[in-house]
Amino acid sequence: MKKHQQDFLAYLRKERNYSAHTIAAYEDDLTLFASFLAGQGNVPGSDLRSVDHLVLRAFLGVLLEQGFSKRTIARKLACLKSFFSYLHRRGVLRSNPSTLVSSPKLEKRLPQFLDEDTVARLMEQPDRSTPEGVRDTAILELLYSTGIRLSEMLGLKLGDVNLYDRTIKVTGKGNKQRIVPLGSQACRAINAYLRIRPGFARGSAGPAASGRVFLTVRGNGMNPKGVNLLMNKYIGQVSEIAKKSPHVLRHSCATHLLNRGADLQAVRELLGHESLSTTQVYTHVSIDRLKTVYARAHPKAT
């Protein structure tokens, strides 16, 4: 299984453009599954042709017994479904055993977001008298203005940014590219950062992270952990929201657009969602907010 696992992860990295974080998670999931197979006397770990839907269900049952949440189990199953689909397409397996295995039914969780006033205060948190503060302001403004994913932001190259047209070229999941508009404040913040970016690049011993837009003080490309730490710090200064990650700004961008009347299909294209149903979760957030406003303001609401 080891070789098939390595080939699959290489495929995700090179052809599907999955983030390093996702690939690491998939590697952990596949390693856990391989360990499970090794303990099954009737299923040799190296012979994936012996795996059927009953083996996969048994694996999910073990995960449940070990206390994994339904959401975590569903994610691990999604990894296995992708893995076996890959093996089937490559002709390694005659059939895909995972097609007969259903994902656990999950409770619907609405995305956490910041209201507009809180976002405005968030943008004021970085110390713009420092190079790092100028860079961090550009990151915050970009994430909120565009709603792009963290991996998409980290993958931005200098040539992807067009401040004249106020657009960026984003490479998303599956190496799919899309053009995303930039707001005026984001343009100003990015322009201010690009003027001082050469100072970051001088800290690098070689070419500054292959032209990556956002650099560390040492001239390396920023990584997910570093940006998550920044988001945790800045969001924590303005909100007690439980989750303090770059995705909160993605959720906030989408929610505020819909609250102000944006077309659902347009928001789907902006976010790079393949399915409209993925975007529709933000309509539930908007409806919940509408109900709260109605209950507070309408004289006959109660």
- Which residues does residue 157 pair with via DSSP β-bridges, in sequence order? 212
Give the number of domains in the chain.
2
- pLDDT greater than 60 at residue 42: no
Q: Pick from 67, 100, 133: which residue ends a domain?
A: 100
Looking at the DSSP bridge assignments, the partners of residue 167 are 162, 181
CATH number at residue 48: 1.10.150.130
Does the structure show a pLDDT above 70 at 43?
Answer: no
Residue of 149, 244, 256, 268 with catalytic role: 149
- 149 among known catalytic residues: yes
Q: Which residue's structure tokens are 């989750």?
A: 243
What's the whole-model pTM score? Answer: 0.68
Q: Work out whether strand 177-181 and strand 167-171 pair parallel, antiparallel, or are unpaired.
A: antiparallel
Phi, psi torsion values for 171, nearest 5 degrees: -105, 110
Angle at 207 between CA 202 and CA 208, to 5 degrees: 55
Instruction: Say what the pLDDT of residue 136 is.
Output: 97
Q: What's the distance, CA 67 to chain centroid?
A: 25
Do 72 and 165 fall into the same domain? no
273 an active-site residue? yes
Question: 225-278: per-residue pLDDT in tens?
Answer: 999 999 999 999 999 888 889 999 999 998 898 888 888 888 888 888 877 777
The pLDDT of residue 36 is above 60: yes
pLDDT digits (tens, 9 = 90+) for 84-113: 999 999 888 989 999 988 887 766 667 788
Same domain flag for 32 and 153: no
Among residues 4, 197, 250, 268, the one annotated as catalytic is 250
